[in-house]
Structure 1
Amino acid sequence: MSDPSLERLANATLLAPFPGAVPPRWILEGLERGMTGVTLFAINGNVPGAGELAGLTGELRRYADPLISIDEEGGDVTRLAHDTGSPYPGSAALGALDDPAVTRRVHRSLGAELREVGVNLDFAPSADVNTADDNPIIGTRAFGSDPETVARHVAAAVAGLQEAGVAACAKHFPGHGATSQDSHLEIPTVDADLPLLERRELVPFRAAIEAGVASVMTGHLRVPALTGDTPATLSHAAVTGLLRGALGYTGVVVTDALDMRAASDAIGIPEASVRALLAGSDLLCLGSKEFEDSVRAIREHIVEAVRQGRLPGERLEEAASRVDGLKAWLTKAGSAEVDRVAGLAAARRAVRVTGTPSLAPKPLVVEFQAPSNIAVGPVPWGFGPWVPDVLRVDADQADARELLERAHGRSLVLVVRDAHRYAGHRDLVTALLAARPDAVLVEMGLPVWRPEAVPYVATYGATRANARAAAEAIGLLEPVTGDALT
């Protein structure tokens, strides 16, 4: 195999990031030399607005027919709406609503928005079954904790995205929902034997495969019964043995970002890339900051692994063939219309209200600042867009007496996000409710913890749509029939 053809095959495995809203020359030259595509990141400035993004992707297509991928789940994890919050509810809300037709409609509209700006590969939906309440990385990104419920909605989401002409990607194989660690920072462990995996984690992935999912993303997590101490992304047993063999998946396999510590902290991204290809992956998502020099080093390391006989050239040819098949599918894929009414309508139906919230005019809204995980990023959330008097507090620093004084003579609304994960939040809520049992508690994460006998609202997510729906449910806003968020 000649050096130019080998380098082209190595390029064909790469989804590279880049800084800014204008593709740099090295990206365009890479596409001309066979690089499969790019991954867009809001934190890199790739998504300044719809018009600019469409211009960016159009420029990329002047040089090749690339895969243009993004991590757009349409819920708390959003890149298109990173500056406002998503106009669509996320997976937990859709799972709580449990109407697969709605999930399909929401994802069809989301796919239409992606296609309008030139994105053709979406790293969604999450097929994880969130069975660990303290899961720091999945939570509201999952459709729920019941495998069959998750499976129904994963299949619907895949259908919706792909009806809009965008390739879906079921993640994070073999399932990230039973973990209590963040794979951006360390290797999570799923303590499950193979029969339990079959009954729980694998059910939604089977549903995604049956729905014709265009790609599957591997997770950087170890399952001792399957992978030993190796993360699934680098495990031949997980990717080739289980996903390809037992589940019969023949489509494209893409890695989660290889800059995550769980994948590459001990061995480096170039070596993680080679091992992921050996395990059976076809596409390498490199991460957000692996620019020109890093991409060159990764490509050279792949080429050298082939020359040394560690990585069969046939493995690269196999990967390139699968990617070519995905690109061929995209040329024949359908399209759909953006339907943002679907997002707010679904968020409204997903809200769950216990008790009877009753607010006087000009209530005090206190939002508890919650740390954001790396996958979600700094996306705004809460009632701020519609309620002028919102107080955002650090629960560990706030004084209950001062808050009660400020709320004297006013209705009080307390807004939390995953309160079950933060003892300080629960303590402050408990202290405030002891003095103000008439207060309304709004949970914008998973409704795992709740006090008794107070008006309680669960949104199952913190998107812009979720916040608007909750504000309407407690009387902060008047609903307008059929409106859509912009």
Structure 2
Amino acid sequence: MVIDEGLRRLALGTLLGAFPGPTAPPWARSLLGSGLAGFTLFGGNVDGSPSALTASLRAVRDDVIVAIDEEGGDVTRLDHRTGSPYPGNAALGAIDDPELTRSIYSSIGASLVAAGITLDLAPVVDVNTAGDNPVIGTRSFGASTDLVSRHAAAAVTGLQEAGVSACAKHFPGHGATIADSHLALPTVDASIDVLRARDLPPFAAASRAGVRAVMTAHIRVPALTGRDPATFSREALSLLRREQAFAGVIVTDALEMSGAVLAAGGVPQGAVRALAAGADLLCLGSRGSAELIEAVAAEIGAATRDGRLALGRLEEAVSRTAELTSPGAPTGRALSPDDRSGLVAARRAVRVQGVLAGLESPLVVQLAPVHSAAVGRVPWGLGPLVGDSHLEVTGGAGSAEEILARAAGRPIVLVGRRVHRLPEDRALIEALAAATTLAVVEMGWPSSWRPIGVQAFITTYGGSRASSIAAAEVLGLA
């Protein structure tokens, strides 16, 4: 489909593309020169520091938007090879020191500025009211609306004082879901009054703190969005503007995600529906290509001709998005990253129940995790810290005898994320506790379940490198 160059440039000005590898391919630089808003960087783009990559993009156009998901904790792109040096939101919420949260996010922001990033797709400000939420969990500051609100404001302030734009996500609140929106279209069956009391206040707090962007959620809230996900709902995005007094850039979550694609009938169609609903900047996801970007731009152009999308709405989106090309909120002083502050914070978050004596020289058993698309395959837990003294297993009581044989009389430290979730994991843990000295390290969203017979139960509120080191210190392993 052919569209005139002016309309193509407008359409490209609403899109965040992606490309593989640590260098920008020629087609990416060409599209940038034609008006593409920018790119989202993923772990595969980061080889050490991406500063050389971002400089090459800026050499094509100095107002390029370079976005990244750098939440700290379990979700990191800059440190995807080693794990984040900062604890995540759940740990910061457990400490509940908003000034510490501001400081940690300021340090993260300084790292991003040094790497040439202009937009951080963080913080997560969802209130995690569903304990078994498979996609938010430790990415949330907590299950209390007031707690999440005050830390949302602190995180936004910290990022933007470093000079990178913050993006609060996922509007209107992803914390009550029990399905992963990367794989399906979750439904939150809540009234508007419940949303206003429970889920929306953190977005209002972020708005009052001056957040420059808000990301939509691919979730259906029938009372607000009807059959559509929030990303395609004019009612939902109008509410963000009206009730949360948000005047910045509305960014979509990745349009390649299954729920969005199925709801819209394809990524190009989803792009048009999101713009028509009121979104300004469209994330196309990690599987970027020139063909996809051109197809989306062509569909946007066609929609302005056939009446699905008003030209004025497209122009408004491009104008808003252009505002993200200026610094987030520079303080006039250069801020420096402080990785050490992350470990100090992670230590404050660790909670110990039970007795640690008698756990010397243990066998560390790490339960194999279920990887989510948001987190990716990032190193976590005690395994990377103890080397050959650990064993990774899948759950199941049948493996208890093998683990005990490997331990050969030594105590066992079992590490997992949401260890309560699977019956086979619970059975394995209780079988080990009945047979030997056992400590459990919970690195996911914690529950009230405590295994019978366990000697110590340690909660870290996340599996970042910082939280892993903090747990190892408590156990005398570091």
TM interval, short-chain normalised: over 0.9
Q: Which residue in the other structure is 2:109 paired with? A: 111
Q: Look up the equivalent residue of 1:443 and give its one-letter code.
A: E
Aligned with 2:262 (options 262, 265, 274): 265
Match runs of 1:195-214 below 5 Å: 195-214=193-212
CA distance in 2, matches of 1:84, 1:290: 25
User: SS at 2:45's partner residue?
Assistant: coil
> How many aligned positions are there?
470
Q: Which residue in the other structure is 1:446 paired with? A: 445
CA distance in 2, matches of 1:262, 1:84: 31
Q: Look up the equivalent residue of 2:241 and give its one-letter code.
A: R
Q: Look up the equivalent residue of 2:268 and give its one-letter code.
A: P
CA distance in 2, matches of 1:326, 1:72: 17
Q: Look up the equivalent residue of 2:349 and give its one-letter code.
A: A
CA contact (8 A) 2:366 2:414 kept: yes
User: SS at 1:441's partner residue?
Assistant: strand
Structure 2: which 5+ residue stretches go unaligned? none
CA contact (8 A) 2:165 2:329 kept: no
Q: Which residue in the other structure is 1:97 paired with? A: 95
CA distance in 2, matches of 1:450, 1:3: 64
Q: Look up the equivalent residue of 1:281 and give its one-letter code.
A: A
CA distance in 1, matches of 2:328, 2:472: 40
Q: Look up the equivalent residue of 1:249 and give its one-letter code.
A: F
Match runs of 1:409-448 below 5 Å: 409-436=409-436, 438-448=437-447
Q: Which residue in the other structure is 1:283 paired with? A: 281
| Deviation by residue 1:258-284 (Cα, 9 ceiling, x = unmatched) | 000111124100000000000100000
CA distance in 2, matches of 1:290, 1:56: 16
Q: Which residue in the other structure is 1:67 paired with? A: 65
CA contact (8 A) 2:160 2:328 kept: no
Q: Look up the equivalent residue of 2:399 and give its one-letter code.
A: D
The answer to whether structure 1 residue 345 and structure 2 residue 382 are counterparts is: no
| Superposed displacement of residue 395, structure 1 | 1.1
Match runs of 1:47-196 below 5 Å: 47-50=46-49, 53-64=50-61, 65-196=63-194
* % identity of equivalent residues: 53
CA contact (8 A) 2:354 2:455 kept: yes
User: SS at 2:170's partner residue?
Assistant: strand
Q: Look up the equivalent residue of 1:34 and give its one-letter code.
A: G
Q: Which residue in the other structure is 2:294 paired with? A: 296
CA distance in 2, matches of 1:386, 1:5: 55
CA distance in 2, matches of 1:27, 1:403: 50
CA contact (8 A) 1:102 1:342 kept: no
Q: Look up the equivalent residue of 2:249 and give its one-letter code.
A: V
User: SS at 1:367's partner residue?
Assistant: strand
CA distance in 1, matches of 2:439, 2:98: 30
CA contact (8 A) 2:171 2:216 kept: yes
Q: CA RMSD in A?
A: 1.5
Aligned with 2:308 (options 307, 310, 314): 310
CA contact (8 A) 2:119 2:324 kept: no
| Superposed displacement of residue 359, structure 1 | 3.9
Q: Which residue in the other structure is 2:26 paired with? A: 25
CA contact (8 A) 1:270 1:297 kept: yes
Structure 1: which 5+ residue stretches go unaligned? 478-486
User: SS at 2:179's partner residue?
Assistant: coil
Match runs of 1:398-413 below 5 Å: 399-413=399-413
**TM-score for the superposition, normalised by structure 1:** 0.94
User: SS at 2:458's partner residue?
Assistant: strand
**TM-score for the superposition, normalised by structure 2:** 0.96
| Superposed displacement of residue 396, structure 1 | 3.2
Q: Look up the equivalent residue of 1:468 and give its one-letter code.
A: I
CA contact (8 A) 2:72 2:86 kept: yes
| Deviation by residue 1:413-441 (Cα, 9 ceiling, x = unmatched) | 111211122221111001111122x3111
Change beyond 3 A, Cα 1:153–1:332: closer
